[in-house]
Structure 1
Amino acid sequence: MMYAILYILLGFAAMEFSGWFIHKYIMHGPLWSIHKTHHQASKSFFELNDLFSLLFGSIAVILIIRGIGQLDYRFWMGTGISLYGISYFFLHDVLIHRRVKWFDRPKNSFLRGIFKAHQAHHATNKKDDAVSFGLFVVPKRYFRAK
């Protein structure tokens, strides 16, 4: 059981850190033409940027399918990536961007810090001027009360 928990946590953490890298160097780099749709106002529920979620979700599904027979590390890593995706959806799409209006804006100090960091990220709609590329791991300055 500890083996499973370790790989779930590893999958979750790998998504946060690889997500930061991909967001900063790929989405705000060569794939800006796709990601910029997330930095522009839209009247549509979906944006081209949602393709990245499909890519990450596909990786999780492949890992789960490949590891389900033995319940090996691939299954548990895929589960961790999936849990990250679910957390990302609720935090990013529901609480921050309110693409689905299920809850009010976050009042918890941790969630408010993440919200402020994401607002700072969206303060520009330019490829090179953005800051704060992580979702859960963001600079401490966003958690200071103002």
Structure 2
Amino acid sequence: MTTILSIIIVLLTIAAMEALSWFIHKYLFHGPLWFIHKTHHQERHGWFELNDVFSMGFAALSLWLMWEGHRTFDYRFWIGIGISVYGMIYFIFHDWFIHNRFKSFRTTNKYLLSIRRAHKIHHKSTEKNPSEEFGLLVASKKYFRR
């Protein structure tokens, strides 16, 4: 597999993960899997919350795909890498920057502040519904105005 094709697969996987994550968040996490996800909308008592099981599931999928494709570095390996990169982006944006798990990420960047604003609106509700803004890297234009 060529280097260019591998990079394209990784980038497409990251984009697909954003779309898939939005869908899963809106229709599953705020639907039948709310009993797990609600721990993310409540005050955290400790480092981990039950909702972190979803991240572990995506990590396991990523590792499995990388393992399945590692002998020939086929598309499965690169999809696994893309999911893993999205997971790192998620950790940096969501856990570190938006939820301040490390209290050290400060910025004046308009895009980052808009994403944070949209996510804070999402967390205004501690209930399953109503809720809005289910994405991580993409938010409605209204959060970019200010």
Q: Sort the TM-score into its range (normalised by shorter chain).
A: over 0.9
- CA offset at residue 11 of structure 1? 1.3
Q: How does 1:1-146 map to 2 (within 5 A)?
A: 1-104=3-106, 106-145=107-146
Letter in 1 for 2:41: H
Letter in 2 for 1:96: I
Aligned residues: 144
* Structure 2 unaligned spans of 5+: none
Partner of 1:48, secondary structure, is coil
* Structure 1 unaligned spans of 5+: none
Q: Which region of structure 1 is more displaced relative to structure 2, 94-103 or 109-118?
A: 94-103
Query: Partners of 2:75 and 2:138 in 1: how far apart?
Result: 24
Tell me the TM-score normalized by structure 2.
Answer: 0.95
Query: Partners of 2:119 and 2:105 in 1: how far apart?
Result: 17
- CA offset at residue 3 of structure 1? 0.5
- CA offset at residue 107 of structure 1? 1.6
Q: Deviations over 1:49-78 (max 9, x none)?
A: 000000111111111111111111111111
